[in-house]
Structure 1
Amino acid sequence: MRMDKIRKKYLLITTVTVIAMLGGCGTDRSVKIYTADSEIAAEESSTQKMADAQSQQENESTQASRDIFAMDTYMNVTAYGVGANEAVRRAEEKIERLDSLLSTGDQNSEIYQINQNGGGILSEDTAYLVERSLDLYQSTNGAFDIAIYPVMKAWGFTDDNFRVPEEEELQELLTLFKAKGAGKNIKVKKM
């Protein structure tokens, strides 16, 4: 049980760290050399300019960027430094894996399956996110509610059929998703 909590915290920390790393960081390798002898100063300045240009080329060659569409969002993932291509590749894999687990529109996703079947077996990652979402529901007094999908669908956010639903329709849908109704029906059983 303790190892599960540690693994979940590690997964959360790893995800946050990857996202933070993707924000990018740079280093300034410029060095100024001052000397009384102008000839030496000019030569060193020229050498420094070449070193700066090489450093800039190295930084540019160790930058990787990729546009990704997942979770109904356009994302640009950029990494800098040695291993930038690998970092971007791994970030894209993680994003796509989470999208395949959590999508409400993909018939093969775990979330789609439990929405359609009223329950089901979740992977460890999805179960952890559902548990955290229910915790957030409690700690925000219902402001954060994972069961809002029917309301989003009524507005057309899930299928691009945008419209303004009637007040009566919204009120009926709102009774479906409040955690005092749907949230109490969401149970996560440990295997």
Structure 2
Amino acid sequence: ENTVQRMQLAQVPVTPYVPRMLAVPGLQDRLLSRFASLMQGPFSPEQMTACLDSLLERYGTALMADHERWGMELNEHPEPTASADHLRKFVERRPAGMMEYLAIATGRQLIRLRTTCEPEEGGSLTLEGVPASPRSQQFAGTPLTITAVANEGWEFAGWKRMEEGSAVVVVDPAHQRQMRAMFRKAGSRADLP
């Protein structure tokens, strides 16, 4: 897996904007933080596998009919279920490989970030506007916007071990490896634990 290297070193880059964005410090930071958040959220192996399974369930009969119809012309063309298995393996490996290669290409260390809400039912967190998973990989030195969103009947009360009072913070994962948003029942003024 050398996707990033191929994109950067090709004679005529397939995606010429990626090397250019990586070359500009401000754009590099934005690309890396957004990319890492998407790889932990909508493009995570769990989400992509669920999407693939639902597509196969929805269109499996039509795909099989096409496979049978075109079977003579497409010698040794795999059945839809075999193609789905191949895609499933691909989406399981892809995010980790892309994160590693971007880390190498940019010289950024991969950091494990833990995000939690206390109490859990009080709200949720987003990373760069993407729903946060409890554990994610992020790039060191890349500003990451974390937003605490209170559920109905709750209000944001602050961040554990941080002076910042805003529900939206920008942190460097290299220095803040754990983020805990504190919530309280709406209208209560209890001190933070």
TM exceeds 0.5?
no
Task: Judging by fraction of residues, say which structure has more helix.
Answer: 1
Larger CA Rg, structure 1 vs 2 = 1
Q: TM-score, normalised by structure 2?
A: 0.20
- More strand per residue: 1 or 2? 2
TM-score (norm 1): 0.21
